[in-house]
Amino acid sequence: MDRNYMELIEAAKEVRKNAYAPFSGFAVGAAVIASSGKIYTGVNVENSSYGLTICAERVAVFKAVSEGERELKAVAIYTDTENTVWPCGACRQVLYEFAQDGDMDVISSTSSGKVEVRKLSELLPKGFKFRPGM
C-alpha cells in the first residue's frame, strides 16, 4: 500500500479518539491529503439537534479548504468496526467537489485490520458539479 495512504490511515485512526459521538456511539476519524501533500484530519461531531451533526469526512475537507486547499487526492476513514464503512452521500458529494482531476481514492480502514480502497467515481457515479457560466 502507498506510504501516503498508510500515513492517512494512521492520522484518521489517531484523530478518531477526539470524535464527539454521545448519541450514536459511532466514532469516526478521517484524513484527507491535498495536492500540496498536506494532511488534514476530522472527526464526526454529533449534536442533540441531530440535523446539525457533521461527519468526519466533511470536517477534514472543510479544514483543508479553510486553509486554502482546493484539490484533494485521497481520503481515509477509520472506524472501530469489523467491516469497512463508506462515506455517506453528503460526504461523497463534498469530496467530489474538491477531488483532484475529478476523482480520488477513498480508503476505508477498521480496527479489525481491514482496509479497502475504492474510487470516489465508483461510490458516486456522475457526481454533480456546477460552475457559473457552465
The model's pLDDT over 20-44, given as tens digits with 9 standing for 90+, comes to 999 999 999 999 999 999 999 999 9
Question: Are 40 and 72 spatial neighbours (Cβ–Cβ below 8 Å)?
Answer: no
Domain membership flag for residue 128: no
Work out the average pLDDT over 61-70. Answer: 98
Q: What is the pLDDT of residue 3?
A: 80
Domain membership flag for residue 130: no
Domain membership flag for residue 134: no
Domain membership flag for residue 133: no
Q: What is the pLDDT of residue 114?
A: 97
How many residues can be counted in the chain?
A: 134
* Residue 28 CB-half CA count within 13 A: 26
Output the domain CATH number for residue 14.
3.40.140.10
Q: Of the residues 7, 57, 82, 97, which is catalytic?
A: 57
* pTM for the full predicted model: 0.94
How many domains in the chain? 1
Domain membership flag for residue 129: no
Residue 85 confidence (pLDDT) above 80: yes
Domain membership flag for residue 131: no
Q: Which residue has the cell 459521538?
A: 21
Domain membership flag for residue 104: yes
Q: Is 57 a catalytic residue?
A: yes
Domain membership flag for residue 96: yes
How far, in whole angstroms, is CA 133 from its chain's centroid? 29
Residue 74 confidence (pLDDT) above 80: yes
**Residue 35 belongs to what domain range?**
3-123
Question: Are 107 and 9 spatial neighbours (Cβ–Cβ below 8 Å)?
Answer: yes
> Edge-to-edge, what's the strand order for the sheet holding 28-34?
39-43, 28-34, 72-79, 105-110, 115-119
Name the residue type at position 34: A
